[in-house]
Amino acid sequence: MLRKLAPLICGSAALSLLSLSGASAQAQTTPPAVPADPPAWSAFKQTWEGVSAYSATVAVYEREGTQVQSWVLDYTFRKPSSATVHFTTGANAGATVVWSGGDTVVARRGSGLMALFRRTFSLHDPAVTTIRGSSIEQLSFASLLAHSQATPGTLSQEAGPAIVDIPTASVTLVPSSSSIDAGLTREIVDISAPTNLPLRVLAYEGDTLVRQVDFSNIKLQP
């Protein structure tokens, strides 16, 4: 998001012991069990597998100390790893940033002849990241899923809020340590019950909301 969203590893691995009878019997252990994803997260994964590209309106709010930032973006992502982002409101309004899967992005401002003036930035250059250091590729659904595989912690699911009258399931990640998750102590993804796609991402430092990302006008390409 944003910074990657959560390990989606939940619970503690269980260890079972098998006892074998007879003179040569030896106690053996099975490998640790792999915890299952919460149902809503499994449904999100399955839906994402059938998508080749999508577009959405993405509203981003972040807080870093006393500094606050808000953006609204027209966001297009295509598998495996390319994104085009047009900033419609906020400090970079009018700019378009293109990522093609590498360590750099190309930014331009305006249209027509003005769009010919381009500049290349590092993917994580502060000029093209949020105030908490999230890059444009971290706003993608693909990044949410990748984050879930990379951040150790516990996961749980409960009924979520209605977002513009759409029922959701809330999947909450509590990282094993905030130091491995950019200082975050809790992340929540509200997943649409009808579509199995994220509608909102929330991130907290303690009780303070430091990131909110809302997805709307989602259009999928199979």
Domains of the chain: 35-217 (2.50.20.10)
147 CB-near residues (< 8 Å, 6+ apart): 1, 3, 4, 5, 6, 7, 138
CA dihedral 60, 103, 86, 127 (to 10 degrees): 70
DSSP state of 166: B
Check pLDDT > 50 for residue 20: no
Q: What angle do CA 191, 126, 99 make, to 5 degrees?
A: 60
Contacts of 44 (CB under 8 A, 6+ apart): 141, 145, 191, 196, 197, 198
Q: What is the spatial distance between Cα 167 and Cα 199, in angstroms, rounded to a whole number?
A: 10
Please state, in angstroms and rounded to a whole number, the distance separating the CA atoms of residues 192 and 180.
28
141: enclosing H helix or E strand: helix 141-150
pLDDT tier at 30 (50, 70, 90 boundaries)?
A: low
* From 25-29, 45-49, 91-95, 114-118, the region with the lowest mean pLDDT: 25-29
Q: What percent of the chain has pLDDT over 70?
A: 81
pLDDT at 211 over 80: yes
- Average pLDDT, rounded, for the chain: 84
User: Using one digit for the tens of pLDDT, what is the confidence trace for 113-144?
Assistant: 455 578 899 999 998 899 998 899 999 999 99
- pTM to 2 decimals? 0.80
* 31 prior amide bond cis, ω within 30: no
